[in-house]
Amino acid sequence: MFGDTFETWQEELNPTITTYQTRKARNCADQMEIPELPRIKHFAGLKNQGATCYLNSLIQSYYMSPEFRKVILQLPLCKETIENSANLAQNESRNRFLLEFQKLFIQLQNLQSKATSTEALTSSFGWNDGQQMWQQDVSDANKVLFETLDRSLYGTPYVIAPFYKGVVFHHITCLNCNNSHGNEEIIYDLNIQVEGNKNLSEGLFSYINPFLLDGNNQYFCEICGFKVDALKGDKIRKLPPILTLTLNRYTFDQKKMQRVKLNDRFEFPLEIDMGVYLENSVDNLVYELQGIIIHRGNAHGGHYLAYFRDLLDEGDWESHIAEYWKEKEEIQQQKRQNTDEVDYDEIKLPFEITNPKVAQGWYDFNDSSVIPIPVNKIQQQFQGSESAYILIYRDRNLIPSKLSSQEIPKYLYDYVNQLNQKIENDRQIYEEAKQHIVISVTDVSKIDLLNHKLLDEKYDKITYKLKLSSTVQQLYQQINKDEYWLLEFQENYQTNLLHFPRYLQNFENTLEEEKVAHESTWILVKKDQDIPQVGLLKIPIRVNLLIDKKPQAFLLYISTTVLELKQLVCQLTGIPQEEQELKNVQNQKMISDLSDETQLGELQFTLETQILVKKKVQIQNINKNVNKNEQQQQQVGDDIVSILVEKDDQIGVSKFYVNINQTIQELIEFIKEQFGMIDARRLRNLNGSQLFCKSDLSIQLKELQDFKEGGARLQIEKGEIPENGKISILVKYQEQTFEIHVDPKQDKIELIKLESCKQFNVEPIQHKLYKVDWLQVPSEALSDETKTISQCYLRDRDLLILCDKTAQIDCELIRFQIFSTTTGYPDDCVFQKHETMRKDATLKDLKQMIISTFNLNIDIDNLRVRDINKNRFFGQVFRKLDLPLQKFQFSTHDIVYQVLNKPENLQDDEMLLLIKQRDPINKVYKQQQEFIFKVSKTPTLQELKQQIQAFIGISQEIQLELAKFVFYEFLWLHIDPKMIQMQQQQGKGKQNKKGNQNNKSNQQSKQNQQQQQQQQNVCENLRKSPINLGEGDFIGYRLGHYPDDDFQTKEDQDLRQRMIAARKNKHNALGTIRRQKEVEFVVDIQ
Ligand SMILES: [Zn+2]
């Protein structure tokens, strides 16, 4: 995945170490935290936490999806208040995770603030340092988030994932027999290639377009029994109502040997008919654009923003957008010049739309800013370094609806009202503080006015809090000392000299008009005391004159001119002004060459400035020296680069300048010193997330590409520097964490377990290690401890949890969706509830749970529980009551129960089938019934026939012909060696043609042999291919020989033809075959 793509763009960083602002506070409010800014438009933004990357856009995309928002806001997570949380999810971290989501959403909806913070939510993920974010691609994050939500919501009537969850079938389709092999995958997004595709339609076709396996790549088809040409690809089996498409704009540049982002144009429409891209095409399945997540930057970093449509008409877009155009016009009038930039606002979108609402209500969400935009702006995201990265479409038939306030739990309103109350209070306090200043007043006794010095560091002062609108007169009244003036004084902390800028004498003026500064200090001086050194520019400085190599200090002012300085020198040395040579020793500037009016304040003196006083002798070639000096400085500057350093346990980035000639070791020491760290630390390069190991310590920074241009992003983290090739694994036990460095290829899980048990002082036999999921909850037991670290796919900094073996761990649970049926046929199958069982619970436990949960009041033997397979047909009947659940093969974890009239006790050698009689004249089936087939190890056709004859009570003399229904092929497979042979002959014919092209007669005769052998074996063992008889299968039987009857019904025929046509047409997607409702072909019931 593109881990490093999702770094925060450098400009987004918020360095904590910057140059200190010297600006003074203007009023009492300036030292206070600025209260939340009010919400301007309807939608609130999300604050940029500095390292939250794509998360803000992702969260806004969830919030702006009414279905998502509805589920989250509706959850009754707490009983009364947020402090009193109930036990919705047993797991506290999940509960907290949902609650934080809820709190964030109610804030986005009701908080009277321009932007809200995601900090509480991310810390509930355990994403405090933003580190996990960089390791994940946004679409990966999307997936884990949905899976986590899905699990968190188990046991509640609320669901989110079904809105976002689609199914893709990864298939290999034999071109000889047309059978597909493959597996289904649940997807949360489709990954669409931008490279080579002009628009979304092309992108989707290239997604479903299979590629041909031929020549050396031919595929061995188990049904045909030989190597065949085949198509390999992905089919979209089910689209979610809310469809997420990730546009892959990345490609590998072979010349540069690096990943680059394509800025090519890739158009996507506001409306798209998705029906043609489905495995079974349908008409008119229109999806409408709901949002776009946009990536700005290059392949190595960037920033995310997003456009979303206001689906619930919450914002007043019409009037907002009118303001937008007005503001834009004003700006353009000010500019009065054309830039080269294309103004997409003005260009119409290049496609027609049928629903005008799709073009309305668009907003641009960029962290804390949310602004309305015209729909035309969307095409700005078709291309360029800022372009669409994720598209979110929704099924037109999915009608958005808003929660009424009654449906939102009351505690959420209480919560947000409290926050609003606090914001309101903060604002009031802030406004009040803005109107006030504090000044301090002292008497003259501790101050040497003449020498600008304090006589004592400590002096008594009285502070006054004053309203800015009060007058100077009022101030004097308050102080109540008529014969005194207030003289302002400022302390220069560098020179330790006092400056007296002014008296406060304009009685009528307000303090604001007089610009009386907050926290200013004033001395009370007698009105008759004359102080000449008062004035705004009378800022005292100390100047050292080097006369005859002896320094002498003088008190001058920044308003002192060069002429006055020369006069002073003349007084001291007798050198006439025009013969004086006055040189600033520090920067070698010749002060005596400057014009007489130049003031010392312009010369950037420092505390140590010394002025060399000489009599002019001859002209020296000073300039040359100066140049050389500057050159040297320049060179030094070249070796200095900036680095950005984060701590692993704290948010924030610090910027440092470092010399690239130093080694990694020196750099680590430097960083530790800067942060005042004394314990063991190591350094990680966040670009690629690589730790510097021991052998790297002697490397100079300049040898590493990432440092050369500056801006390298590093993380200093707690822990020892690892040996070469070792990675760090964290093991958590209860609340303690232990770190171990291991060699991923050599070291085994055993080692980690033993070491950590030793560390935590627990018994290894009693404990087990678990991998964790996204919420740091155990998700997979590492049971085989002889595996190596890399065999278990553990990566650097992964966390494991050490648990007691008997603890109830989520990953050791099976979650069932329980359905019920009364007839035993899939058409009356009804979902009942989700239930969780421990893997080591037995079937008996499961059945007892069902009996008690649904109050069935029956004997355990009267309950049949069976598997629901991927095609939604009923499969295996579970037997063996004492077998633990983990030993059963569940195809979907969907199970169905049925209450039987009489006890059932199926044995291992009994197979439950569904048989029905074929009426070959009317080409229909009748008399569907359950039939128990007593199977041998290798059940033959003969055995099946005899048992059915006995079951339906006909003589063995009567000819009986059988066929098996192949689900989703709509095909009745005639169980007859001759017929199967015939079918295969047809297949062989095709194969021969292809075989001749390959010119491999040798190989071909081998294939023929194989085929012949298989024909003999056909029906010898019905469990095997091509019959693959299994529990739950439908068997049709026919009395008598009807060579012209193919066992198909008219419906089967239609569906099969449509399916074949759809397969053929798939690649040019002209198919307009309607997908049939599943129930229509499940069972023929008379
Ligand atoms: Zn085949």
Cα(243) to centroid(ligand 1), Å:
33
State the pLDDT at residue 918: 92
- The type of residue at 228 is V
Reported as a pLDDT band with limits 50, 70 and 90, residue 619 is very low
Q: Which of 58-72, 83-97, 474-488 has the highest mean pLDDT?
A: 58-72
Write out the E strands in 210-254.
Answer: 211-213, 219-221, 226-228, 230-238, 242-248, 250-253
State the pLDDT at residue 35: 80
Contacts of 43 (CB under 8 A, 6+ apart): 108, 310, 314, 315, 363, 365, 370
CA distance 1028 to 1019: 10
Mean pLDDT of 230-237: 90
Give 394-426 as a 3 state SS string.
EECCCCCCCCCHHHCCHHHHHHHHHHHHHHHHH
Residues 1086, 1049: contact at Cβ < 8 Å?
Answer: no
Cα(175) to centroid(ligand 1), Å:
7
Taking alpha carbons only, the member of 984, 970, 1036 closest to residue 222 is: 984
Cα(443) to centroid(ligand 1), Å:
104
Q: Name beta bridge partners: 172.
A: 181, 232
Residue that wins the pLDDT comparison between 705 and 895: 895
Query: Are β-strands 1034-1039 and 910-919 bridged in parallel, bridged antiparallel, or unpaired?
Result: parallel
Mean pLDDT of 325-343: 75
The three-class DSSP label of residue 668 is helix
Q: Is the pLDDT of residue 695 over 70?
A: yes
Cα(178) to centroid(ligand 1), Å:
6
| Lowest mean pLDDT segment, chosen from 183-187, 411-415, 777-781, 844-848 | 777-781
Q: Is the pLDDT of residue 1079 over 60?
A: no
Q: Please write the tens of the pLDDT for every residue from 447-497.
A: 888 888 888 777 788 889 889 899 988 888 888 888 888 998 887 766 778
State the pLDDT at residue 119: 80
Residue 408 backbone phi and psi in degrees, to 5:
-90, 130
Mean pLDDT of 1026-1039: 88
Count the Cβ atoms, other than its own, within 10 Å of residue 363: 24
Q: Is the pLDDT of residue 308 over 50?
A: yes
Cα(172) to centroid(ligand 1), Å:
10
Q: Is the pLDDT of residue 636 over 60?
A: no
Query: Are β-strands 798-804 and 727-733 bridged in parallel, bridged antiparallel, or unpaired?
Result: parallel
Cα(236) to centroid(ligand 1), Å:
22
Q: Please write the tens of the pLDDT for every residue from 371-400.
A: 899 999 999 999 988 899 999 999 999 999
Cα(927) to centroid(ligand 1), Å:
33
The tokens of 601 are what? Answer: 């304040």
Mean pLDDT of 299-318: 86
Cα(826) to centroid(ligand 1), Å:
29
State the pLDDT at residue 706: 79
The tokens of 830 are what? Answer: 């009804």
Cα(230) to centroid(ligand 1), Å:
8
Mean pLDDT of 47-51: 69
Q: Is the pLDDT of residue 10 over 60?
A: no
Cα(208) to centroid(ligand 1), Å:
21
pTM of the model: 0.52
Cα(527) to centroid(ligand 1), Å:
111
| Lowest mean pLDDT segment, chosen from 160-164, 447-451, 631-635 | 631-635
| Lowest mean pLDDT segment, chosen from 519-528, 591-600, 811-820, 924-933 | 811-820
Cα(969) to centroid(ligand 1), Å:
13
State the pLDDT at residue 53: 63
Residue 1001 backbone phi and psi in degrees, to 5:
-65, -30
Cα(168) to centroid(ligand 1), Å:
21
Cα(1084) to centroid(ligand 1), Å:
28
Contacts of 328 (CB under 8 A, 6+ apart): 345
Reported as a pLDDT band with limits 50, 70 and 90, residue 790 is confident
State the pLDDT at residue 136: 57
Cα(121) to centroid(ligand 1), Å:
52
CA distance 224 to 995: 14
CA distance 1 to 191: 12
Cα(202) to centroid(ligand 1), Å:
30
Taking alpha carbons only, the member of 189, 191, 220 closest to residue 204 is: 191
State the pLDDT at residue 307: 95
CA distance 307 to 295: 11
State the pLDDT at residue 270: 95
Cα(229) to centroid(ligand 1), Å:
9
Cα(1081) to centroid(ligand 1), Å:
24
Cα(1072) to centroid(ligand 1), Å:
26
Cα(226) to centroid(ligand 1), Å:
8
Question: Computed from CA positions of residues 655, 656, 657, 661, in that sequence, does the dihedral angle turn out positive or negative?
Answer: negative
Q: Please write the tens of the pLDDT for every residue from 748-775.
A: 999 999 999 999 999 988 888 988 765 5
Cα(783) to centroid(ligand 1), Å:
39
Cα(1051) to centroid(ligand 1), Å:
24
State the pLDDT at residue 613: 86
State the pLDDT at residue 1076: 29
Cα(212) to centroid(ligand 1), Å:
14
Cα(787) to centroid(ligand 1), Å:
38
Cα(1063) to centroid(ligand 1), Å:
15
SS3 content of the chain, % helix, strand, coil (to 5): 30, 30, 40
State the pLDDT at residue 377: 92
Residues 877, 906: contact at Cβ < 8 Å?
Answer: yes
Cα(1009) to centroid(ligand 1), Å:
17
Cα(1067) to centroid(ligand 1), Å:
20
Q: Please write the tens of the pLDDT for every residue from 660-679.
A: 888 999 999 988 888 888 88
